[in-house]
Each structure stands twice: as structure tokens, then as C-alpha cells.
Structure 1
């Protein structure tokens, strides 16, 4: 089955967009805020990052030849915060995203229909990518939400600022229609914060 290579390009852009949202949210916080949680049933940003890291490494390391739930993964331990510095959090964040993006960029369109396994259940590569396009943004949304709650000074909007839709839309509709190959600025999402 020959699938359009634009799926891989689109997936890469979507993952990068959500990584950038997380980057920008995390950058607005003081180091100690990365470790705050409301109670024992909620996760700090550091724990969410650690979980994403563990999932990304497990799912995308040797993705075409080994099960996505690696025997070395300790998922339950991902929810125990043993990180203590901003640098450790950012190292995990970057390592996980690097693993994911390297795997996505290594695929060829004809591999999208290959069957891979996650917990012994078969998925096409395309299904596995799509599955994670739902999972990772879910957690990035948590990071953004928690960061906004913790931010003690004004929040720097990550998309269209509150009450800024009219201005934003006016600028967008003043330009000629575009069909493909958007710039970073044009990739801004229109979801309100």
C-alpha cells in the first residue's frame, strides 16, 4: 500500500507543535513550580514529563522490530517524582521528543502499513502514530493547564490571546489563501486558551 508521504510530514509538524506548546509553558515557570501538585492524586509537570519520556522511549525505540511496551520500561515508576532540578526535567523532555521525532522521520511512506506491536496488540505504523497524536497532546494540555494555574505573573499566551480573535482573523483573512507549507507563525492554532 503506497500512502501519501504528507501523512508523515503532517504528523511531524503536529508533534512539533505540541512540543513547542510544552516548551513555552514550561519556560514560563520557576524551577520549583515544575514539582508542585495539588494532592497525591495529581501529577506535577515533572511527573507528566517523566511519563511522556518513558512512553516515548518505550514506544519509539526499535519500533519496527520490538514491542512498544519494552520489558525495561517501569511505567509505575514514571509517576514517582525522583527528579529534582529543572535541568533533569528538560533533559527527559528533550530525550523523549528526540526519540519520537527521530522514529517518525525515519519512516518511509511504504512502512506506514507495516504491523508493529504495543502490548502484544498489532497496529499499523500509521495507527501507532495516530494513537500517540492523541496521547501526547493530552498530556501537553495538562502541562499547559497546570502551568497556567501555577504562573504567578501574567501568562504569555501560547496561541491567540484572549479577546484577540478579531484582530488575528482580520490579519489572516487579509492575506491570500494558502494551501500548503505554512510558516511557524501560520501554524499557530486557533484554539482559545
Structure 2
């Protein structure tokens, strides 16, 4: 398999994994908890989602022909909590991820070395993808951590439950070696 094609498939799998992680964390919260902050220097989950939405739209709209920092982006406004409903927050979440995934799915292996710009700084498409594979999971981690802090009842683990590593590993090692393959539906 072409390495650039494999990279694109792997990048998409990773983005989808972090998208799902954020969603599973937010699903565990009451609506008002999505908007809660501890002090003026912390961001609510809603604000983190708004920032991801703004960044994704800016970076991935017309990515091959325009700078990733769009003139219409108002980054500072992304940190103002003006989402008011879970539905609005989740709609923006989906819009941002759809923009990213649409761009990612439009790339061919030949695009990987093409230079694009983010704030007038050249990146290959592969570098731009890697940049965002560091940025978005950082914020999804904030969402997960915040959700765990806010959850008033028991937390449903998003990975291996605490003190469950041995049981998890035993189950994994009883099976033949495999490579995780995502279905078409999981990649959409």
C-alpha cells in the first residue's frame, strides 16, 4: 500500500477516535455541566467545542487554495461562551468535524507534499494534518478531563477501567493477533 494512502487512512481513524471520545464524554453530562467553568481563566466544554469548531472551519475550508487562518475567523470570540443549548453545541461540533473530515477525504496520496499555508507559514499537507492531530486531541483531552471532574455520578470509562488492565489484557492476549480495521461506517 502506498505510504501516503496509509497515512491518510490512519489520520482519519485517529481523528474519528478522538471525535468519538469527546462525544462519549459529553454524553455523560447534564446539559448545564457543558457550560460550567471554575473561574474566569478556565474554559467550559462548550467554549472548547466552540474553539475546535472555529479552528476546524478555518483550517480546512478551501485548504488547498486559501490560508488556514481565514480573514473571517474571529479566534478571540471562540473563547466567549455564547452557546446556550446542547443542540447548538453538538451542531457546531459536527460542523467542525465534517469540515475537517471532508477535507481529509478529498486528499489523494499525491497531495501529501503539497504546500499549504497557516498564518502565512508553509506546511505540507502531511505536516498540517500532523499539526492538527496534536491540537485536536489536546482539546478533546481537556473535554474528557473536565467531564470527569463535573460528573456527579459514576464515570463510564472511555477506555480501560481503573484496575481493569489485567482483565483487559488477558482478553486481548487470548485472541489471535489482529490489526484493527474500521468499517466504512466507522470511517464516515
Superposed pair shares fold, TM > 0.5: yes
On the 8 A contact 1:54/1:73 being kept in 2, the answer is yes
Deviation (angstroms), 1:141: 0.1
State the alpha-carbon separation in 2 of the partners of residues 57 and 109 from structure 1: 22
On the 8 A contact 1:3/1:112 being kept in 2, the answer is no
Aligned partner of 2:31 in structure 1 is 31
Higher fraction of helix? 2
Aligned partner of 1:44 in structure 2 is 44
Aligned partner of 1:189 in structure 2 is none
On the 8 A contact 1:36/1:44 being kept in 2, the answer is yes
Deviation (angstroms), 1:4: 2.9
User: What secondary structure, in the 3-state scheme, does the structure 2 residue paired with 1:5 have?
Assistant: helix
State the alpha-carbon separation in 1 of the partners of residues 148 and 181 from structure 2: 31
Q: 1:62 to 1:182 in 2, by over 3 A?
A: closer
On the 8 A contact 1:83/1:89 being kept in 2, the answer is yes
Q: What is the TM-score normalised by the length of structure 1?
A: 0.92
On the 8 A contact 2:29/2:147 being kept in 1, the answer is yes
Please say if 1:134 is aligned against 2:134.
yes
Aligned partner of 2:8 in structure 1 is 8
List gaps (5 residues or longer) in structure 1: 184-193
Aligned partner of 2:17 in structure 1 is 17
Q: 1:7 to 1:74 in 2, by over 3 A?
A: same
Aligned-CA RMSD value: 1.1
On the 8 A contact 1:37/1:43 being kept in 2, the answer is yes
The equivalences for 1:56-95 within 5 A come to 56-95=56-95
Deviation (angstroms), 1:182: 5.5
List gaps (5 residues or longer) in structure 2: 184-188
User: What secondary structure, in the 3-state scheme, does the structure 2 residue paired with 1:6 have?
Assistant: helix
State the alpha-carbon separation in 2 of the partners of residues 48 and 155 from structure 1: 20
On the 8 A contact 1:3/1:110 being kept in 2, the answer is no
State the alpha-carbon separation in 1 of the partners of residues 155 and 180 from structure 2: 31
How many residues get paired? 182
Q: What is the TM-score normalised by the length of structure 2?
A: 0.94
Deviation track 1:137-167 (CA, whole Å, cap 9, x = no partner) reads 0000000000000000000000000011001
Q: Which contiguous aligned blocks of 4+ residues in structure 1 show a shift greater than 3 angstroms?
A: none
